[in-house]
Structure 1
Amino acid sequence: MRIPTLIGAGALFVALGSGSAFAAGESSGGGSTNASTQCSGGKVYSEQMKKCVDPEESRLDDNSLYEAGRAFAKAGRYGDAIIVLSTIAANGDPRVLNYLGYSHRKQGRIAVGLGYYEEALRLNPDFTLAREYMGEAYLQLNDVGSARNQLREIANRCGTACDEYLELERQIDDHMKEI
């Protein structure tokens, strides 16, 4: 699945609305993502303008927009994350694609999430966090075999002691206890 198809699927969701929980984020490169999580409707805080603005108007660099989108995703504000990250998705940053996948998956659009993970991994096959999240998506589909394949891929890239391996291994173990 290619980015234009995925963004089109995301646009439908964006039109339907987004969450509103507040949480602290991280800050980097010209904008405060902590302040961005205090904004609503997919807006980000512009230090320059001293207010919440649409991401396109924020004058934030791509990394700052990524950090804002990531902060929204980690705060459970998946709709806001999708809005912000979609503004820079076409730039082909695997981190952005990964968190778009994460946010869509957390909203129940697992197939859309998998498409974003696949694209992130096409660009960077060694991106173990995308592999972990892809494995979690497969578990949501009860596809333990594919989740284990991602676990093996992670082990091949960073061993069995890295965070991504340990987290996916735990998720698989928990899943197996439930079935």
Structure 2
Amino acid sequence: MRHALALVLCTLPFAALAAGSDDNDPPTQTNTTKTCTDGKVWDEAKQSCEEPKSGQLDDETLFRAAREFAYVGQPQNALNALAAMKEGESDRVLTYLGFANRKAGNLEIGLSYYDKALDRNPDNLLARSYYGQALVEMGELQLAQAQLDEIVARGGSTGWPAQSLAEAIRTGQTTNY
């Protein structure tokens, strides 16, 4: 049954889906990655690029910037934006710390952040998906399938986390975002 579900999930369109967004849309590219350089973040109020640690940027702006950096393949800039947040180790921050570290080549560190995110919130389907994708990269398909089963059991069978993990298990290819 679960393999049939995985096959169904793999046939769903991925173009409009992206990891990490609350609304399943990819982050909109902003001046943070269009105009700013060197990991700076666009400050809408000042209409200028600011260092993430400048203290001028609120957590939501920094989090959106971290997502945007991750989306365009700039994991170190995503890590810098996350580090500047005052929010602390919330499960959403831990999830992106895991993702950005994994994509920066720090697999073990990434896995530890996914574990922390899931300790804080076992229903964090995105953390489960990213964790499962890391397991696919490690060749641990049975463990990745266990994460997919958890996502489905927690009501996420039709969302991006289940779809992307099912695709990764089926193809062996993980998402770049």
Structure with greater helix percent: 1
Aligned to 1:129: 126
Shift of 1:151: 0.7
Q: Which fold has the larger relative contact order, with Cα–Cα distance below 8 Å and residues 6 or more apart in sequence?
A: 2
**Bigger CA drift: 76-85 or 89-98?**
89-98
Q: Distance in 2 between matches of 1:163 and 1:55?
A: 29
TM-score of the superposition, structure 1-length normalised? 0.74
The runs of at least 4 aligned residues of structure 1 exceeding 3 Å deviation read none
- SS for the counterpart of 2:57 is coil
Distance in 2 between residues matched to 1:146 and 1:165, nearest whole Å: 14
- C-alpha distance in 1 between matches for 2:115 and 2:147: 12
1:102–1:133 Cα contact (<8 Å) kept: yes
Match of 2:104 among 103, 107, 117: 107
Q: Shift of residue 159 of structure 1?
A: 4.5
State, as a whole percentage, how many aligned pairs show the same letter.
35
Q: Distance in 1 between matches of 2:75 and 2:116?
A: 19
List gaps (5 residues or longer) in structure 2.
1-25
Corresponding residue number in structure 2 for 1:36: 32
RMSD: 2.1
Gaps of 5+ in 1: 1-23, 27-32
Within a 5 Å distance, the mapping from 1:22-101 to structure 2 comes to 25-26=27-28, 34-37=30-33, 38-88=35-85, 91-101=88-98
Aligned equivalents of 2:118, 2:112: Cα separation in 1? 10
In the alignment, is the contact (CA less than 8 A) between 1:89 and 1:97 conserved in 2?
no
Q: Deviations over 1:79-136 (max 9, x none)?
A: 1111111122761221121112111111221111111111111111101011000000
How many angstroms does 1:46 deviate by? 1.6
Quick one: structure 1 residues 58 and 36, their matched pair in 2 at CA, closer, same or farther if it must change by over 3 Å? farther
Contact 2:157 2:163 in 1 (8 A): yes
What amino acid sits opposite 2:114 in the alignment?
Answer: Y
